[in-house]
């Protein structure tokens, strides 16, 4: 059970920390001092355009400052005035295409990009135009298909998440007994693959409401035979409708709400482990210009199956109730772009056996940096993420198998405390291909020593998006 949770959480963390669209598609994040300076500069340039409307340099500077402030409408008006004086300006057409793209006017954006491409721009500009046009084809289509595939290898110093010591105190005899070697700490390498496909159907409403179906899969295989019983396979499908609300209040630029159904199936060691039916509700919002918020609730009804090497798995049958709160905010733009993300999670697991039932709390944070390669070897920006989390899990009852108090020899209720920290490095090698390297350390302490462990891991592999 613990190995399954570790594998799934690691994969989700890696994928969750991977970048999506280029930051150039968004307005710059500004401090209050920077914004005040740009506002003053914008007003000064505006007055200059009134005095000399045919001065294209001044007009372009005004459009540039307006775009930095997020005033895309003002930037568009200025650039379109430039085309009145000279309609053959590929750079202006390119910038207009980018601005209309940000505003969601994809067909107008496409027109300007095609005009800019017809002027035979340099290869790097042509590639940028092609990237935009590909995104426009995806976003303007009634039906969209996107996703990723991530695969590679991983090495763990404690692949089975077992205690380092083979000695366990048994309450019946109040003495130390030695565990079988397969239940003590084992290091192992593994190969894994993780993928996701998202299908979206545009309902044709003014706010571009959609129906979304997301399929996710994960599988791994350990190289060490003694750990093969922990080989994991996961498939999951969620289906729901996303409803979008633009500028519902003055301080919120956008809000979306998505109710959805959940179904999944999990195998462990080549045998059926459990399947799930459930539902969820997801809410996202962009507030105060650059703060992204997300809250979610999920209910999952889980049915477990026994196997020869785990005859009591059905005792885990029950339900999960999950609450997630997330917030992220850009911090700096120069000399590198950075973003801080915080998350709180609550999980309540109810099971047939009370000693498996628990409730856990987790807080986590990540600081992501995006910067140009200082050695100028990489064509695309590099991305480095530092992450840290702390969780607590309180179990409802003592485990009669092997849980004891080290002082009294009696049964004790289990309380786990988990530190996780590490670094994730993303190296973009093409517009849709990246190499990901992650180093991670897990430290778990427990009131029941058999559940305490320390593990180091390294993970590397390519991620392909489509």
CATH code for the domain of 83:
1.25.40.10
* Domain end call among 93, 113, 140: 140
Mean pLDDT of 435-458: 93
Strand, helix or coil for residue 259: strand
* Cα 195 from Cα 297, distance rounded (Å): 23
Same domain, 55 and 162: no
Asked if residue 280 lies in contact with residue 212, where contact means CB atoms within 8 angstroms, the answer is no
Asked if residue 30 lies in contact with residue 333, where contact means CB atoms within 8 angstroms, the answer is yes
How many Cβ atoms sit within 10 Å of the Cβ of residue 374?
A: 8
Q: Are strands 232-249 and 175-178 parallel, antiparallel or unpaired?
A: unpaired
CA-based nearest residue to 18, from 449, 432, 456: 432
Strand, helix or coil for residue 403: coil
* Domain end call among 140, 172, 193: 140
Q: What is the domain range of residue 60?
A: 32-140
Dihedrals phi, psi of 157, to nearest 5 degrees: -75, -20
Tokens of 31: 């401090």
Same domain, 148 and 159: yes
Residue with the bigger pLDDT between 142 and 184: it is 142
* Cα 460 from Cα 150, distance rounded (Å): 10
At residue 43, the pLDDT reads: 87
Residue 94's H or E segment, with its range, is helix 90-102
* Ramachandran quadrant class, 70 (left: phi over 0; alpha: psi -120 to 50; beta: rest): left
Mean pLDDT check: name the lowest of 46-55, 186-195, 260-269. Answer: 46-55
Same domain, 421 and 461: yes
Q: How confident is the model at residue 180 (pLDDT cuts 50, 70, 90)?
A: low
Q: What is the pTM of this model?
A: 0.75
Same domain, 10 and 86: no
At residue 16, the pLDDT reads: 37
* Ramachandran quadrant class, 97 (left: phi over 0; alpha: psi -120 to 50; beta: rest): alpha
Position 11 pLDDT exceeds 60: no
Farthest CA pair distance, the chain: 95
Same domain, 423 and 334: yes
* Domain end call among 140, 168, 188: 140
Counting the structural domains of the chain, the total is 2
Tokens of 195: 């993928």
> What CATH number is associated with residue 454?
2.40.160.40
At residue 197, the pLDDT reads: 97
DSSP string, 327-339: EEEEEE-SSSEEE
Mean pLDDT of 455-460: 97
Same domain, 278 and 402: yes
Alpha carbon separation from 257 to 125, 140, 294, 379 (Å, rounded): 37, 21, 10, 38
Q: Kindly give, in sequence order, each residue whose CB lies less than 8 Å from that of residue 192, ignoring residues fewer than 6 positions away.
A: 7, 11, 151, 152, 153, 154, 218, 219, 220, 221, 461
Dihedrals phi, psi of 371, to nearest 5 degrees: -155, 160
Mean pLDDT check: name the lowest of 67-76, 235-244, 369-378, 397-406. Answer: 397-406
Instruction: Give the gyration radius of the chain's Cα atoms.
Output: 27
Same domain, 118 and 194: no
Residue with the bigger pLDDT between 390 and 161: it is 390
Residue with the bigger pLDDT between 232 and 181: it is 232
At residue 142, the pLDDT reads: 83
Same domain, 233 and 133: no
Position 376 pLDDT exceeds 60: yes
Mean per-residue pLDDT of the chain: 85
Q: How confident is the model at residue 30 (pLDDT cuts 50, 70, 90)?
A: low
Residue 461's H or E segment, with its range, is strand 453-465
* Ramachandran quadrant class, 147 (left: phi over 0; alpha: psi -120 to 50; beta: rest): left
Whose tokens are 């085309």? That residue is: 83
At residue 215, the pLDDT reads: 98
* Cα 389 from Cα 420, distance rounded (Å): 5
Tokens of 5: 């949770």
Same domain, 247 and 272: yes
Position 14 pLDDT exceeds 50: no
* Cα 2 from Cα 333, distance rounded (Å): 40
Length of the chain: 466
Residue with the bigger pLDDT between 233 and 47: it is 233
Same domain, 391 and 296: yes
At residue 416, the pLDDT reads: 95
* Cα 303 from Cα 264, distance rounded (Å): 11
Alpha carbon separation from 33 to 36, 37, 38, 330 (Å, rounded): 5, 6, 9, 16
* Cα 184 from Cα 167, distance rounded (Å): 9
* Cα 186 from Cα 5, distance rounded (Å): 17
Tokens of 431: 């517009």
Same domain, 238 and 131: no
Residue with the bigger pLDDT between 236 and 96: it is 236
pLDDT digits (tens, 9 = 90+) for 415-445: 999 999 999 999 999 989 999 999 999 999 9
Position 231 pLDDT exceeds 80: yes
Q: How confident is the model at residue 29 (pLDDT cuts 50, 70, 90)?
A: low
pLDDT digits (tens, 9 = 90+) for 58-111: 888 888 888 888 788 888 888 888 888 888 888 888 889 888 888 878 889 999
In degrees, rounded to 5, the angle at the alpha carbon of residue 269 between the alpha carbons of residues 268 and 272 is: 45
Same domain, 49 and 130: yes
């Amino acid at each position: 059970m613990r190995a399954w949770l570790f594998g799934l959480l690691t994969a989700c963390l890696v994928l969750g920390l991977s970048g999506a669209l280029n930051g150039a598609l968004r307005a710059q994040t500004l401090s209050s001092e920077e914004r005040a300076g740009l506002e003053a500069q914008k007003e000064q340039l505006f007055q200059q355009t009134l005095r000399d409307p045919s001065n294209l340099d001044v007009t372009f500077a005004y459009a540039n400052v307006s775009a930095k402030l997020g005033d895309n409408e003002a930037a568009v008006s200025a650039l379109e005035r430039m085309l009145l004086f000279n309609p053959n300006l590929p750079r202006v057409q390119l910038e207009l295409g980018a601005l209309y793209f940000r505003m969601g006017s994809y067909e107008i954006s496409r027109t300007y990009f095609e005009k800019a491409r017809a002027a035979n721009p340099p290869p790097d500009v042509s590639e940028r135009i092609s990237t935009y046009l590909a995104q426009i084809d995806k976003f303007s289509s009634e039906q969209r298909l996107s996703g990723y595939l991530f695969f590679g290898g991983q090495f763990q110093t404690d692949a089975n998440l077992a205690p380092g010591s083979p000695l366990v105190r048994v309450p019946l005899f109040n003495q130390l007994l030695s565990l079988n070697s397969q239940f003590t700490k084992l290091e192992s390498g593994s190969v894994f693959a993780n993928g996701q496909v998202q299908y979206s159907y545009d309902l044709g409403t003014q706010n571009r409401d959609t129906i979304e179906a997301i399929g996710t899969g994960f599988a791994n295989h350990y190289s060490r035979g003694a750990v093969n019983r922990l080989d994991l396979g996961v498939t999951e499908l969620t289906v729901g409708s996303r409803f979008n609300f633009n500028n519902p209040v003055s301080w919120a630029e956008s809000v979306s709400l998505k109710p959805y159904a959940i179904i999944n199936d999990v195998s462990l060691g080549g045998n059926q482990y459990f399947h799930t039916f459930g539902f969820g509700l997801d809410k996202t919002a962009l507030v105060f210009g650059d703060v992204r918020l997300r809250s979610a609730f999920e209910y999952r009804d889980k049915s477990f199956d026994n196997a020869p090497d785990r005859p009591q798995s059905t005792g885990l049958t029950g339900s999960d109730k999950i609450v997630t709160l997330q917030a992220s905010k850009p911090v700096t733009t120069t000399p590198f772009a950075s973003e801080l993300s915080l998350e709180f999670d609550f999980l309540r697991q109810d099971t047939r056996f009370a000693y498996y039932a628990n409730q856990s709390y987790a807080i986590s944070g990540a600081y992501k940096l995006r910067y140009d390669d200082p050695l100028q070897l990489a064509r695309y920006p590099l991305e480095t993420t530092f992450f840290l989390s702390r969780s607590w899990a309180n179990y409802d009852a003592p485990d009669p198998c092997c849980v004891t108090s080290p002082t009294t020899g009696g049964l004790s209720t289990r309380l786990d405390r988990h530190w996780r920290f590490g670094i994730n490095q993303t190296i973009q090698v093409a517009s849709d291909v990246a190499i990901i390297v992650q180093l991670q350390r897990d430290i778990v302490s427990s009131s029941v020593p058999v559940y305490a462990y320390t593990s180091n891991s390294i993970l590397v592999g390519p991620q392909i998006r489509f």
